[in-house]
Amino acid sequence: MGLLSDPSISTQSKLVDGLARHVRKVCYALYVAGVAWFFCLALPEFNHGTYLSENALSPGLVYPEIRIDANRLAIQLLEELQRERKDHLSTTPHAWIAAKMNEFGLETHTHNYTLRYPFGGGKEYHGKNIYGILRAPRIASTEGIVFAAPYRAASSVHADISASVPLLLAFADFARRKNYWAKDLIFLVTEQEQLGMQAWLEAYHDGDRDLDVSKAYLRPGNLPARAGSLQAALNIEVQDLEIDHVDVRIEGLNGKLPNLDMFNLVQRIMAREGIASGYKQAPRKKRRHSQSHFEQNLRQMLTMLASQSSGVPTGNHGLFHRYRIDALTIAANRRATHATLKGSPGSAAVPLLKAIEGIARSLNNLLERFHQSFFFYVIVNNDRYISIGDYMPALVALVACAFLKAYLTWSTLPATNAELDKAAGWLKEHEQEVELEENLDPDKFELPYGSVLIYLTATLLIGFLCNVLPLQQYFLEIPMGAAPLTTSVLSFLSLIGFVLPFVVVLPPGGLELLHVAFLLIYGCALIVIGLLNFALGFFAAVLTVPLVIALETKEENSRSTLRNTIRLATLAMNPMMVVYVIVLAMTFYQFPELPLQKIMLRAATAAMDASAYGLIDSVIYGNWLYFVICTIFLPLWIICWTLSLSKRRDYADYLDFDESPSTPSQLQSQVQPQSKVKTN
Amino acid sequence: MARMYPVAFVLLLLVALNAGANLGRDDERFHEELVVRPLSGDHVNTYFQFTTRWHYGDKDNLYHTQLTPRVIAELLQQFAVKELHIGLTQGLWRYETWGYPIVEATSGAEMWAWFSGANLTNREVDRQWKELANVFSGVLCASLNFVDNTNSIAPRHLIRPQFMPANGRRFVRYATLPREIVCTENLTPWKKLLPCGSASGFASLLNSGHVHNTKYHSLGLKVRVLCEDHDEDNCIVELTQTANLVYDLRLFELSNNDFSLRRMFGMGLNGFCELAESSKIYVQRNEQGERYQLVPEPVHEVKTTRGGHSVVYSVYDMHEQFKEPGERLFNVAWLAPKSENRRRNLAKPSLPPVTVHRYLLGHGQERGRIVTEVTNSHYDTLPIMLQEVIPWYVHAYLHTLSIRRKPQRVNEYGRQRLPFKLLHYTPGKQRELPSHLEIGFTLPGQTSALITIDVDYLLLKWLEYPPDANHGHYIGSAIVSSQLPMGRNYTALPPEGHLFEHSFNATRPSYVLSLHTEALIVSLPTPDFSMPYNVICLACTVVALAFGPIHSVATKMIIVGRQASTPKNFVKKIFNKIFRRGKPTDEAAAECEELRAAGAAAVGATGMASARASISPGGPSGDQPLLEDLDEEEEEQD
């Protein structure tokens, strides 16, 4: 370690000087390297084939025992359910489901929950889940596996998935007659899409919470029965008993993923039963064979990251992940044509039932929780993946730009004040007599740490208010829809952020210091977001890093065209603007036939809805996206905007200002009330 | 509340002695019984009880055993044990659907013992307790040898003795091993304790292949010593071996609900144990047993009313069935009515008066809450006692202990609290003692109580993790006890009786009920015991090693100054050491010159930086570059 403590190595070396001169080039090189690395990951040389790490799973070790009679039962149950659906257009046939579970010998319970919708004007909605527990003979209810099927009422706008409940019940009837279960099996039918699942999970893990009736949005209540610690969960969304292919959905809340072993297990067993299955599986005619390997891989990676970045789960499985329960959804699509039908229609669901049995038995074999294999990965292909060790360098290269620039900016700060300070400090250390001289050391050479800190706090306060304000009681009482209300609050607050640099001008050196602070916060924020949700961090980095590299506060080398371009780009990078552009692009993609004006209008309302949904997601499900955008990206944008404007006080102004007594404190007091007035 | 228990027990134990009085001196008797009770939800409970009673009189007689196994007799000589219970159980008894069992047990292994004798000390009892566990670890092939002070407690209120307390002090120890898996290796040695072994009698029905295909099976062993008039030489040793099984008829994959002894146990009964005084099968005929028709028709029928609750049993006496010579197999079949569909049995059973559940709330591997839920579906207030053993790797916080209540029908707990009537807490100690908690309270009728206590999970030392580290650690079940005013669903033997028929018409003012909750699995913070884990450990070490020098560079002022060089001559070295603070010698001055040259070279290396610094306006002169860096570091820390 002598190398590290060698005092002869100075940070102020030639290398630093050289780098500082070419900081932009270096940063752009790093940026390009990071993006290029990411693209390279799609090449087969850069990713790996999947394998099962947990030996206990041993998929396919046992022959499936489920037979055609289970399929017959499923068909019969589906017919019964279709009759029930005619009587329950907008509700769930709870009684029928509970009666069937009871008949099959499950311990059946209902779970009631209440939602107080934040924008519903105090109205309460009640929901009801039904679940049956198969008490395993080989265990004393210490561990359990969940098999869930969401029920959609007949009046729902989403695709009809009513076949999943009969399938679940048919499997339950089969499983009830087996004695090898070493984990309790919970068969759960939820309603209201993800809300029912969220309520059930919260009740399972926090059932004793004494929630304040007036404040809590979702009151999950308590469950009458449990089955120990949940080890894994399988969510089944089947459109019909005759299926075309199975789409395995894995993205969970905030981009969390189930263990890769679980995904591999499902893939293996589906393959053994001869079901076309995979991640983002497309229908038969849409499956692309013409595309090159690389392009296909890259498309798969990007679609996965895109769905991960929003943090919204792609199915009910996503809510399990935060309780450390590995879960995924098998979504089976209806077979469109009957031409390719191999067997008789009477045995259509047998492969799927066999697959579910195989998955259940493999999970039953688990001795420990899923802990081997990967929790952070990107699926490249159905049988290829990229591990965190391989994709993280791409993000690190992007974020390194920010840190590198921060360091170089710091080391090339105008040497006036800092170095004089040092001289004074050195003198103090060595010669006591200089103490007299120290009094002469004028305050104006101090870097304005205080005011920069206050400025940062003010921007963070704006971000914080974005989280809090839309949910305040007096705002909720305004007779306005959720979307316009949220949007107006957000745009008002961003307007404050927009105006802030015009009103508050930092003292000399403040902009440079702010720049360094901005780069450090930006880098840290991105790397943390990237660790928790790689997709969000990576996309944010790809989008913003070029701007951050281009951003410059120095006056001397500012060309007005470049400067104005940067200002324009910064304006375009406003989080609200970005959200609008993304929504616009999606609208354009979905409705290409509409005229541009209509698309823009439609995108505007959609973006407003999106912000409201983001807020609701964050308070009910705990989605971070809204929080991240408001509390991290918006303040960062305000700082970025300040830097791109680089409004400086004239030197003359500064002198005037300086002549008045107690400079820094007054400056602080000036900044503070302004920001307070604005934010209130 | 605490007062009620002892009074009830003293009363019962007086009767217990009378029941034993019909045994003459040096008399040894063996009884075998089998109780079959159809339960709701297509389950059947079969309960075997083998009782050996020996009025051994003189203590020296213990050397010569006949029916009682020798190991039990030796036990009484070696240890001051008066009562011993061991249970080896797989599965969980479901109170809601099955009612109450005849013998209570928790999943895994459970063991408790009472010690009494002259000059016993706590330390001596601890030693004996550990040795006792080791003895039975060998006898039953179970992991009871893991019972030690880290998982044993001395219950204060909940576990009461079932023997006649002598004058000496009484000590009790209790331990559970929830991770224990019960298998055929425990059944075989357990059967060997019987006088007839598994050759004949009811024990021949217990074939491991069929016993372990049940939903619940529990092997029990109970030894107690009953002495008359506190006389050590006039005692009865009573060994009760029980096997409690619950069969699930749906697992038989039959088209109807019929079942028989042969179907459940794989074979019929080949006779009775010749050494047995009595050998009887009791079949419950009312409630769930009502719809079955028995083949062969039973000869005797017993109607028993206990605490206002009537049960009808049909009795098959094996001594009568096998009166005639000749080998044959005896089988009893239960025939459900032909019209009944196998999925018709949906009638929900009436809920027993008290039910318990336990679960772990909270998520993450840092902290959680242990929650015990007791529901009283009786209309009247019941006294409830709860005993918890919380292992040392879970830190419980007593101040967070609370009992909340709600009406039975509501599904959310509010702020209503219940007061403690009794609270006993022994705090645990890391790696040494478990936390032991006993609380008592009264639970109003039609009410549920939620007892919660917050816990922290401990990060263990890496060698303390079991082989399947990510499986989780167990917290043993809690025991909930109550006194029922009526006998509905209550089937336990009265403490003074030793045969199943002693529970017939045994009406008492109250019935002591004890229930076991589920065991829990907690996921303690577990390191990833794999290659990345090792890499992280290594990387952390490297960082730790690097941190020291970096820290010293960043915080210390480095001054290149004069340094007294050490002379080569040994004498001069010593001289130098003594006069270190004196003036530097001429040689040292010469060395100093060299050092200065080196310092100049160092300055030259950083010449570029200093050049830049000197160009910049107002910068310091270029001769202290190191100091400049240091100050900059400090500023950054601001």
Query: Shortest Cα distance from A12 to chain B (angstroms)?
Result: 5
| Helical spans, DSSP H, in B272-375 | 318-321
- The pLDDT assigned to A284 comes to 57
Q: Does B546 touch chain A (CB under 8 A)?
A: yes
Region of poorest pLDDT, from A564-568, A674-678, B411-415? A674-678
B472 Cβ under 8 Å from any chain A Cβ: yes
Secondary structure (H, E, C), A315-383: CHHHHCHHHCCEEEEEEEEECCCCCCCCCCHHHCCHHHHHHHHHHHHHHHHCCCCCCCCCCCEEEEECC
Window B:280-339, CB contacts with A under 8 Å: none
Higher-confidence position of B159 and A654: B159
CB atoms A178 and B371 under 8 Å: no
**Chain B residues near residue A127 by CB distance under 8 angstroms:** none
| Inter-chain residue contact B553 with A5, CB threshold 8 Å | yes
Domain regions of chain B by residue span: 4-351, 548-637
Note whether B424 and B156 are within 8 A (CB): yes
Position A170 confidence tier, pLDDT thresholds 50, 70, 90: very high
Return the residue of A nearest to B454 by Cα.
A208
B438-461: average pLDDT = 92
Asked if A472 contacts A465 with a C-beta cutoff of 8 angstroms, the reply is no
- Look at A1 and B549 and tell me if their CB atoms are within 8 Å: yes
The nearest alpha carbon in chain B to A104 belongs to: B343
Residue A230: pLDDT band with limits 50, 70, 90: very high
Position B187 scores a pLDDT of 92
Q: How far apart are CA A33 and CA A394, in angstroms?
A: 8
| Partner-chain contact A140 B108, CB within 8 Å | yes
Which of the residues A419, A444, A445 would you substitute to probe the B interface, choosing the one with the greatest number of B C-beta atoms within 10 Å? Answer: A419
Distance from CA of B31 to the nearest CA of A (A): 30
Say if the Cβ atoms of A416 and B250 lie within 8 Å: no
Mutate to test the interface with A, among B412, B416, B543, B629 (most CBs of A within 10 A): B412
**A207 neighbourhood in chain B, CB within 8 Å:** 361, 371
- Quote the tokens at residue B405: 């209540």
Min Cα distance A104 → chain B (Å) is 7
pTM above 0.90, yes or no: no
| Joined tokens for residue A139 | 């265990």
CA of A484, closest CA in chain B: separation in Å?
35
Any residues with CB less than 8 A from the CB of B313 and at least 6 apart, and which? B35, B282, B283, B284, B285, B301, B302, B303, B304, B504
pLDDT tens digit string along A377-401?
999 988 889 999 899 999 999 999 9
A147-161, A319-333, A545-559, B547-561: which range is least confident on average?
Answer: A545-559
Of B528, B620, B638, the CB nearest to A422: B620
Token readout for A158 is 């989403």
Q: What is the pLDDT of residue B326?
A: 77
Q: How far is A208 from chain B (nearest CA, A)?
A: 7
Question: Which strands make up the sheet holding B511-516, listed edge to edge?
Answer: B422-426, B435-443, B382-390, B479-484, B511-516
| pLDDT score recorded for residue B226 | 86
Record: contact A222-B413, CB cut-off 8 A: yes
Residue B377 sits at the chain A interface (C-beta within 8 Å): no
Q: How far is CA B65 from the centre of its chain?
A: 33
Residue B619 has pLDDT above 50, yes or no: no
Q: Please answer yes or no on whether A14 and B248 come within 8 Å at the CB atom.
A: no
What pLDDT shows up at residue A329?
Answer: 94
Report for A488-502, A525-539, A654-668: range of highest mean pLDDT: A525-539
Single-letter amino acid code for the residue at A270: M
Put simply, whether B253 touches A (Cβ < 8 Å) is yes
The whole-number average pLDDT for the span B602-618 is 40
Is residue B515 a contact partner of residue B481, using CB atoms and an 8 Å limit? yes
| Binary contact (A141, B518; C-beta < 8 A) | yes
* pLDDT band, very low/low/confident/very high, at A132 (cuts 50, 70, 90): very high
Contact yes or no for B361 and A208 at CB 8 A: yes
Q: What is the pLDDT of residues B502-526, one digit of tens each?
A: 888 888 888 899 999 999 999 898 8
Contact B635 A418 (CB under 8 A): yes
ipTM above 0.90, yes or no: no
Phi and psi at A596, nearest 5°, equal -60, -40
Q: Which CATH class is domain A55-382?
A: alpha beta
Q: Which of A10, A140, A420 sits opposite B519 (nearest CB)?
A: A140
The band of A214, judged by pLDDT with boundaries at 50, 70 and 90, is low
| Nearest-Cα residue of chain B relative to residue A429 | B557
CB contact under 8 A, B468 and A367: yes
What is the pLDDT confidence band of residue A221, given thresholds at 50, 70 and 90? Answer: confident
Taking only Cα atoms into account, the Rg of chain A, rounded to an integer number of angstroms, comes to 30
Our CA-based measurement puts residue A462 at a distance from the nearest CA of chain B, in whole angstroms, of 25
**B528-566: pLDDT as tens digits:** 777 777 788 889 999 999 998 888 888 887 777 765 565
B545 interfacial to chain A (CB closer than 8 Å): yes
pLDDT band at B26 (very low <50, low <70, confident <90, very high): low
Model confidence band, residue B481 (pLDDT cutoffs 50, 70, 90): very high
What is the structure's pLDDT at B617? 41
B548 to chain A, any CB pair closer than 8 A? The answer is: yes
* Interface probe with B: pick from A66, A114, A138, A142, most Cβ of B within 10 Å: A142
CA atoms of A577 and A544, how far apart (whole Å): 13
Give the C-alpha separation, A365 to B580, whole Å: 75
Specify the amino acid at residue A372. Answer: Q
Span B369-425, pLDDT tens digits: 999 999 999 889 999 999 999 999 999 999 999 999 999 888 788 888 899 999 999
B248 touches chain A (CB under 8 A): yes
The H-or-E segment that residue A609 falls in is helix A596-620
Q: Looking at chain B from residue 519 to 538, which residues have their Cβ under 8 Å from any Cβ of chain A?
A: 519-523, 526, 528, 530
How far from the centroid of its chain's Cα atoms is residue B45's Cα?
23
What is the rounded CA–CA span in Å between residue B239 and residue B245?
20
Q: Where are the domains of chain A?
A: 9-40+392-412+447-648, 55-382
Chain B CB contacts of A323 under 8 Å are: 363
Structure token digits, residue B319: 């001594």
Interface of B with A in 586-625 (CB under 8 A): 602, 605-606, 608-609, 612-613, 616-620, 624-625
Half-sphere exposure of A58 (CA within 13 A, CB side): 9
Neighbours of A613 (CB within 10 A): 17
Q: What b/e readout covers B433-450, taking b as 16+ CB neighbours within 10 angstroms?
A: bbbbbbbbbebeeebbbb
A-chain residues near B361 (CB < 8 A) = 205-208
Long-range contacts of residues A647-656, Cβ cutoff 8 Å, at least 24 apart: A647/A501, A647/A502, A647/A505, A648/A505, A648/A508, A648/A511, A648/A555, A649/A505, A649/A506, A649/A507, A649/A508, A651/A508, A654/A507, A654/A508
Pull the structure tokens for residue B292.
């079955």
- pLDDT score at A668: 40
Q: Which of A13, A103, A179 sits opposite B346 (nearest CB)?
A: A103
Best mutation target, B40, B359, B526, to test chain A (most A CBs within 10 A):
B359
Confidence of residue B493 (pLDDT cuts 50, 70, 90): confident
Residue A673 has what pLDDT? Answer: 36
* Lowest mean pLDDT segment, chosen from A6-15, A327-336, A599-608, A612-621: A6-15
Q: CA A407 to CA A517: how far, in whole Å? A: 10
Q: Which residues of B touch A326 (CB under 8 A)?
A: none
Q: What are phi and psi of B64, to 5 degrees?
A: -120, 95
B107, B184, B355, B361: best mutation site toward chain A, by most A Cβ within 10 Å?
B361
Report the residue of chain A nearest B96, measured CA to CA.
A107
Q: Judge whether A357 and A239 are in contact, CB under 8 Å.
A: no
Report pLDDT digits (tens) over A587-638: 888 888 888 888 888 888 888 888 888 888 888 898 999 999 999 999 999 9
Contacts with A, B 109-148, CB within 8 Å: none
Element (H, E) at B449: strand B447-457
Chain A CB contacts of B627 under 8 Å are 422, 426
- Please tell me if residue B636 touches chain A, with a CB cutoff of 8 Å: yes
How many other CB atoms sit within 10 Å of the CB of residue A552? Answer: 19
Alpha helices in A152-255 (DSSP H): 164-176, 194-206
Smallest CA–CA distance, residue B219 to chain A, in Å, is 15
Chain A residue numbers with beta carbons less than 8 Å from the beta carbon of B468 are 367-368
Per-residue pLDDT, B110: 94
Residue A409 pLDDT > 70, yes or no? yes
Tell me which chain A residue has its CA closest to the CA of residue B602. Answer: A8
- Could you tell me which residues come within 8 angstroms of residue B164 by beta carbon, excluding any fewer than 6 positions away? B13, B16, B17, B226, B227, B228, B230
Asked if A225 contacts A107 with a C-beta cutoff of 8 angstroms, the reply is yes
Q: Which of A658-667, B11-20, B427-436 has the highest mean pLDDT?
A: B427-436
At B568 the pLDDT is 66
pLDDT score, position B626:
42
Average pLDDT over chain A, rounded to whole? 82
